[in-house]
Amino acid sequence: MSAQQEWYEKDYYKILGVAKSSSAKEITKAYRKLAKEHHPDANKGSDDKFKEISAAYDVIGDPGKRKEYDEVRQSIVSGRSQSQAGGFNGFGNQQEGFPGGFNFGDSGDINDIFGSMFGNTRRGPRRGQDLEASINLTFRDSVKGVTRDLILGENKNTKVRIPPGVEEGQRIRISGKGGAGELGADNGDLYIICHIDTDSRFGRSGRNVTTQAMVSFAEAALGSQITVPTLDNPVTLKVPAGTQPGATLRVKGRGVSASNKYKDGDLLVKIKVIIPKVLSQKEKEALGIFLDAPMGSI
């Protein structure tokens, strides 16, 4: 089945559960939710359903293809309306010499429309097929970005660059890396769905990386310097005197790497204070000094 034949037969808006008037952002949000739910690796995943969802988003998730799809679908509605009025079967309201006044509107090449309806005998330049692949990334690669070699159909090897900051389930479009075009037409695009491994030490908050650091009660009360891990080398972090449990300290530039319009994110360190059940004499003396100090002097 050709791509435009599928456009006639399938309602991609219904497949993604969105309205025809939905914004691009709403369509992407709906796709990501369904892709994660139906991915073959998920508990209730379905390969066929996942492919159907991806095919729908491939069209209405792309502004140019969405416009063409809407026009083709509208041509069906217009054609049915005129046929019911006695046009198509009664040869009335002829448009441009075609029986029935079938309203092609702005839906593109008439040969393409008839071709998709009656077997597509027209041969000419044809855009290459879009391809899709999944890729598993370490947490670090998702934060720093990475270049990978992918093997596609027919052992075709291609290098792809995953930008810093991708999120779980994100779909990346790489222009011209899909199937080869015919008779000089453009190649198709490659769509990559990213799956990210979790990391026991780190998490994400937007463009920032998050982690935790344990400090003793005395270190939090009196202030100290601690060593915290990053995705590169460990750094020394100053814990101000009087730091409260749950406080978040920031290490500049140790988050998601800069790309395009984004600058480097930061590392956010949440402080967890260990409260001892028994204090040593030295800790008691240090704590006594802290408690006796005038407010704001420490």
Question: Please, which pLDDT band fits residue 283 given cuts at 50, 70 and 90?
Answer: low
Tally of CB atoms within 10 A around 244: 9
CA 148-150-152 angle, 5° bins: 165
CA distances from 103 to 74, 92, 110, 197 (A): 9, 12, 10, 51
The more confidently predicted of residues 6 and 54 is 54
Distance of CA 292 to the CA centre of its chain: 54
Closest CA to 109 of 4, 202, 209: 4
Fold of 203-292: HSP40/DNAj peptide-binding domain (2.60.260)
pTM passes above 0.75: no
H/E stretch holding 169 reads none
Report d(CA 127, CA 185) in Å as an integer.
5
Question: Please, which pLDDT band fits residue 290 given cuts at 50, 70 and 90?
Answer: low
Domain ranges of the chain: 127-197, 203-292
Mean pLDDT of the chain: 80
Question: Please, which pLDDT band fits residue 248 given cuts at 50, 70 and 90?
Answer: very high
Closest CA to 147 of 167, 162, 165: 162
Q: Which amino acid is at 15?
A: I
Count of CA atoms in the C-beta half-sphere (13 A) of 150: 24
- Give the residue ranges of DSSP H helices in 174-274: 217-222
The pair of structure tokens assigned to 246 is 């749950």
Report d(CA 82, CA 88) in Å as an integer.
6
Q: Under 8 Å CB-to-CB from 281, ≥6 apart: which residues?
A: none
Strands 235-239 and 224-228: antiparallel
Handedness of CA 275, 280, 283, 287 (dihedral sign): positive
Closest CA to 164 of 153, 175, 172: 172
Q: Based on C-alpha coordinates, what's the Rg of the chain?
A: 29
Read off the pLDDT of residues 213-232 as tens digits, 9 standing for 90 and up: 999 888 998 899 999 999 99
DSSP letter at 92 equals -
User: Out of 168-172, 195-199, 251-255, 274-278, which region has the weakest mean confidence (pLDDT)?
Assistant: 274-278
CA distances from 18 to 5, 6, 51, 127, 158 (A): 21, 18, 17, 28, 34
Q: Is 3.40.50.300 the CATH classification of the domain at 127-197?
A: no
The pair of structure tokens assigned to 22 is 């939905």
Place of tokens 């799956």: 195
Output the pLDDT for position 89: 43
Same fold, 127-197 and 203-292: yes
Backbone angle region of 238, left / alpha / beta, with phi > 0 → left and psi within -120 to 50 → alpha: beta
DSSP letter at 151 equals E
Report d(CA 178, CA 54) in Å as an integer.
15
Output the pLDDT for position 286: 63
Q: Which amino acid is at 179?
A: G
Q: Under 8 Å CB-to-CB from 199, ≥6 apart: which residues?
A: 138, 139, 140
- Please report, for the chain, how many H helices and E strands are present, in that order: 9, 11
Residue 113 has pLDDT above 60, yes or no: no
The more confidently predicted of residues 229 and 104 is 229
Residue 149 has pLDDT above 60, yes or no: yes
Report d(CA 31, CA 15) in Å as an integer.
10
Output the pLDDT for position 94: 42
Output the pLDDT for position 166: 94
Question: Please, which pLDDT band fits residue 99 given cuts at 50, 70 and 90?
Answer: very low
